[in-house]
Structure 1
Amino acid sequence: MMPQPSPGAAPNPQAQPPAQQYPHQPMAAPPPALPPHQQWMMMMQQQQQQQQQQQQPAARPVPPPAGWLPQPVPPPVPSQVQQYPAAGPYSANEIKSLWIGDLQPNMDENYLFSCFAHTGEVVTAKVIRNKQTGFSEGYGFIEFASRAAAERVLQTYNGSLMPNSDQNFRMNWATLGPGEKRQDGGQDYTIFVGDLAADVTDYLLQETFRAIYSSVKGAKVVTDRMTGRSKGYGFIKFGDEAEQLRAMTEMNGRYCSSRPMRIGPAANKKTGIAQSYQNAPEQNGSGTHGENDPNNTTIFVGALDPSVTDDVLRQVFGQFGELHSVKIPAGKRCGFVHFVNRASAEQALQVLNGTQLGGQSIRLSWGRSPSNKQALVSEQAQWNSGYYGYSQGYEGYGYVPPQDPNAYYGGYPGYNYQQPQQ
């Protein structure tokens, strides 16, 4: 008869089964010095941890099928919602909501939840709808449990392909939480940023300035409506005028991505920005300005000094490419520069808009050939023209719609200055 081991004593090695009987689990046995009751407690703890993990929501790499309804409160742990209330005005460091635009009519709250549910940090999702029709206005807001979670989503998804769609995510920071209204009376101070590299996004531009100026409210890189590609310029919005003025000099020539930025003034209007969109008639590429018409190579030049002649315009604009014609109508403080190719005209418009010529800051926009009688309109008629004419609700969250800067400030087709007073 073999002696039995006393409690707590190490087991007899001869009593253990041969290792070769368990070739597939050579290290599965617990440490020899661990008492049996402690082994049992460890197994129970592992089972409890596995059960808790199974209760967590599974990751959804792709949107669920049609008809899927999310739970009213997506975060897995109710206490997370209590830790991050949605009430109260947010400072720049407390913003936890993202604006999302370019939504198709079928992209509702369920779709937004499904896109980001795997993060486990979505608090609310809201698609803004028309009060009369109930149809989506094409944009919405997603609030996350923390700013860090919102920042990860913005960096990861902005510009990437949306699930079950052929378009990309278009996202940015929301300057207010969902459900809040913007306080009237706040002044915004905006600067123009040109010569941007093609890979510069809203987020990259914003963070480049926010790292130095704490009052930065947002950034907008202007993109082509048809292709979605950057046009090489954008805007930075400040809440503090002193920082705006500092940035005008300190950031000029500083690199953002692979190119140095060109900083210029932009009109700072307290009210009426959003209204210019809602009231402006929509125009297509064949309209007065032809901004989307690849065959249009004519630049309208406004606010000309009386001393400027055709030859002066030809000398200034000719450095950007071959010119077809230059014309300043008699008695008008405006002119038309007709380039041979579109690329030269685009470059001249971006570089020269707002520069000094004859003691005056010239204002550029797309025009028609002076051979067209309809093109010889008054300067104010061109200034009062607007683009596109729809709003995506940016005004409620610190943004105006992400359209062409020719309508960005007050409906004037030149993005650097306010339209003249009558």
Structure 2
Amino acid sequence: PANASANLFVGNLSWNIDEEWLAREFEPFGEIVGCRIITDRDSGRSKGFGYVEFANAEDAAKALKEKKGSHLDGRELNVDFSQPKSDTPKERGNQRASKFGDSRSEPSSTLFIGNISFDATPDMLSETFSTYGTINRVSLPTDINSGAPKGFGYVEFSSIEEATAAIEGAAGTTIAGRPLRLDF
């Protein structure tokens, strides 16, 4: 398929499933070079999705075909290619939004963060969101005249997947006493 990649997104995982178990499930299809389950930073509990990376895309495609919709620990797996980073964010966003019926803005690698406390610093944002991936940039715009913070900001990740994980994982997070509002 056009969007084939060696990296698979695996969703709807039960909380019992750890990386070892996930890797075991996918090993029969080929050599696995990476496997991670995204966990909640505070509780350490699985967020119910993860990624399995194969050494080559053919094996990933085989695994996708066999595993999509199969049951693991009583739940039906949602398996998909983790979108490669080469095509444009807009196309990726469209594919993902149409597939998952997202009502949020189109996914992009940059998160919009609203309702930020005026006491928040870029470091606080980095710390909160670095769990979900590599942060390229944090920006907290200030008023041009007064220099006061405007109460919103942006965190740019190195991929859409990371930003998506952050928006799902950090929903409801509070910084300096205020719950953040997240969107793409």
Provide the TM-score with structure 1 as the length reference: 0.24
Partner of residue 237, structure 1: 53
C-alpha separation between the residues in 2 aligned to 1:222 and 1:353? 21
Please point out which of 70, 77, 80 is paired with 1:261.
Answer: 77
- Structure 1 residue aligned with 2:9, among 189, 192, 199? 192
Which residue pairs with 2:99 in the alignment? 355
Contact 1:387/1:411 (<8 A) preserved: no
Matches within 5 A, 1:302-341: 303=93
Name the SS of the counterpart of 1:205 in structure 2. helix
State the 1:363 CA deviation: 2.2
Say if 1:221 and 1:354 are closer, same or farther in 2 by CA, change over 3 A.
Answer: farther
Residues 1:254 and 1:226: Cα distance change in structure 2 (over 3 Å): same
Q: Which residue of the partner structure matches residue 33 of structure 2?
A: 217
Q: How many residues align?
A: 119
Distance 1:269 1:262, change over 3 A: same
SS in 1 for 2:129: coil
SS at match of 1:228: coil
Contact 2:9 2:52 in 1 (8 A): yes
Q: Pick the aligned partner of 1:387 from 104, 121, 129.
A: 129
* TM-fit CA distance, 1:263: 0.6
| Distance apart, 1:387 and its partner CA | 3.4
Deviation at 1:235, TM superposition (A): 0.2
The residue type equivalent to 2:18 in the other structure is: T
Q: 1:243 to 1:303 in 2, by over 3 A?
A: closer
Is the radius of gyration larger for structure 1 or structure 2?
1
* 2:62 pairs with 1:246: yes
Is the counterpart of residue 404 in structure 1 residue 148 in structure 2?
A: no
Structure 1 residues 204, 353: closer, same or farther in 2, change over 3 A? farther
Unaligned runs of 5+ in 2: 87-91, 116-127, 136-156, 166-184
The residue identity in structure 1 corresponding to 2:158 is G
Q: CA RMSD in A?
A: 3.9
Cα displacement (A) at 1:267: 3.1
| Aligned CA distance change for structure 1 residues 214 and 224 (closer, same or farther; 3 Å) | same
Aligned to 2:164: 414
**AA of the residue aligned to 1:222:** I
Change (3 A) 1:213 1:304: closer
Of all paired residues, the percent bearing the same amino acid is 20
- Bigger strand fraction: 2
Question: Post-superposition shift, 1:303?
Answer: 4.2
Q: Counterpart in 1 of 2:174?
A: none
Unaligned runs of 5+ in 1: 1-187, 271-301, 306-351, 373-385, 389-402, 416-422
Question: Is this contact kept in 1: 2:38–2:47, CA < 8 A?
Answer: yes
- What secondary structure, in the 3-state scheme, does the structure 2 residue paired with 1:248 have? helix
Q: Which amino acid aligns with 1:198?
A: W
Q: CA deviation at 1:304?
A: 6.0
